[in-house]
């Protein structure tokens, strides 16, 4: 079984689940997972975890993400993007000025409250919201807190005189669970103008950026030429926020059995540290203040001497 992370480039038109299925075929193993769903019409970085790396999926999902895309003003849809049916339009609005655009985008920075779109995978009473939507049913949607680190305009907006729309290009840095589609719609609501997210690409996720991604075709070629191992990043690539602690043979005998490490064996004394042995990242340990020892949080690759 292979262990590590593939920074996959997910193309438009493909579901995240389909990407996982394809990776199971490419690598010939079932233990595969992704770290954060991308809608079919969104492309970009989709970290795929293999083997023991599936244990850090939650950590990758908690890491910040960066998107680039566009907001089009003038109409809104059922899905909050271009896939849905138009439900409202206003082609007589006054185009926003640069000052209005900047103020509108910056007003979302910080903690905001979002209501997930009906066409999303959020579960309510055991059913996905998109299931309710496809059956023409309505249900009260739970509010969510999203964290926006920045939201800025990229380049010049475009005013389409023929279609009477205005498109604004943006980049946003955000936390787990943010619905960028909803950001686009809510941006328009600030000016009482219907809006949609008209394009979106995730350019960074789980510590990987777009330049590091590999396509499915490239992986298939690597499989045929027996070069797949060269495409896999070690678990530690996604855990750079943690201090790496190099342990010796004696400590490894304890760690591989899930035993503790004393505080004076760990430097620096961070709350959580990455344990490495023989150049392989083996586990995450956390400081238990009550016991004054480091205990295992997540165990990865325990093979080897």
**Paired tokens of 213:** 């991604």
Nearest by Cα to 34 from 22, 18, 46: 46
DSSP strands (E only) in 99-142: 110-114, 123-124, 127-128
User: What's the whole-model pTM score?
Assistant: 0.91
Buried b (16+ CB within 10 A) or exposed e, 90-116: eeebeebeeeebeebbeebbeebebeb
Contact status, residue 154 vs residue 68, Cβ threshold 8 Å: yes
- Residues 131, 214, single domain; the answer is no
Q: Clarify whether residues 111 and 190 are in a common domain.
A: yes
- Catalytic residues, which ones? 39
290 and 278 co-located in one domain: yes
Q: Is residue 228 part of a domain?
A: yes
DSSP string, 8-20: EEEPTT--HHHHH
9 and 137 co-located in one domain: no
- CA 16 – CA 2 distance, rounded (Å): 20
In this predicted model, what pLDDT tens digit does every residue of 200-249 receive, in sequence order? 999 999 989 999 999 999 999 999 999 999 999 999 888 988 999 999 99
Give 84-115 pLDDT, tens digit per residue: 999 999 999 999 999 999 999 999 999 999 98
Per-residue pLDDT of the chain (305 residues; tens, 9 = 90+): 899 999 999 999 999 999 999 999 999 999 999 988 888 899 999 999 999 999 999 888 888 899 999 999 999 999 999 999 999 999 999 999 999 999 999 999 999 999 888 777 778 888 888 888 888 888 888 888 999 999 999 999 999 999 999 999 999 999 988 999 999 999 999 999 999 999 999 999 998 999 999 999 999 999 999 999 999 999 988 898 899 999 999 999 999 999 999 999 999 999 999 999 999 999 999 999 999 999 999 998 766 54
Number of domains in the chain: 3
Residues 78 and 163 in one domain: yes
CB 121 within 8 A of CB 196: no
- The answer to whether the Cα torsion of 263, 264, 266, 267 is positive or negative is positive
> Which of 200, 204, 210, 201 shows the shortest CA–CA distance to 71?
200
212 touches 203 (CB < 8 A): no
Residue 149 host element (H or E): strand 144-153
Residue 116 shares a structural domain with residue 198: yes
Token code pair at residue 112: 């905001």
Residues 214 and 104 in one domain: no
Q: Which domain holds residue 55?
A: 4-63+207-237
């Amino acid at each position: 079984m292979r262990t590590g992370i593939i920074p996959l480039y997910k193309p438009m038109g493909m579901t995240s689940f389909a990407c996982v299925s394809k990776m199971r075929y490419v690598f010939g193993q079932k233990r595969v997972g992704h770290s954060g769903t991308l809608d079919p019409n969104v492309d970009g970085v989709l970290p795929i975890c293999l083997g023991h790396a599936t244990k850090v999926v939650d950590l990758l999902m908690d890491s910040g993400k960066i998107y680039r895309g566009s907001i089009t003003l003038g109409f809104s849809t059922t899905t909050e993007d271009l896939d849905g049916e138009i439900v409202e339009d206003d082609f007589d609005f006054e185009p926003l000025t640069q000052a209005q655009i900047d103020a509108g985008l910056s007003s979302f920075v910080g903690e905001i409250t979002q209501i997930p779109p009906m066409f999303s995978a959020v579960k309510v009473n055991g059913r996905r919201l998109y299931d309710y939507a496809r059956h023409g049913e309505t249900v009260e949607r739970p509010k969510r807190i999203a964290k926006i680190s920045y939201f800025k305009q990229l380049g010049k907006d475009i005013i389409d005189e023929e279609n009477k729309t205005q498109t604004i290009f943006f980049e946003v840095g955000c936390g787990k669970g943010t619905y960028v589609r909803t950001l686009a719609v809510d941006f328009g609501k600030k000016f009482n103008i219907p809006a949609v997210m008209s394009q979106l690409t995730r350019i960074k996720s789980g510590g990987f950026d777009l330049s590091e991604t590999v396509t499915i075709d490239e992986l298939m070629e690597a499989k045929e030429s027996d070069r797949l191992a060269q495409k896999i990043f070690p678990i530690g690539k996604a855990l750079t926020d943690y201090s790496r602690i190099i342990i010796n043979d004696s400590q490894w005998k304890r760690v591989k059995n899930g035993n503790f490490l004393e505080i004076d064996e760990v430097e620096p004394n961070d709350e959580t540290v990455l344990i490495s042995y023989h150049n392989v990242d083996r586990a995450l340990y956390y400081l238990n203040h009550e016991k004054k020892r480091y205990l295992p949080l997540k165990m990865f690759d325990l093979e080897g001497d």
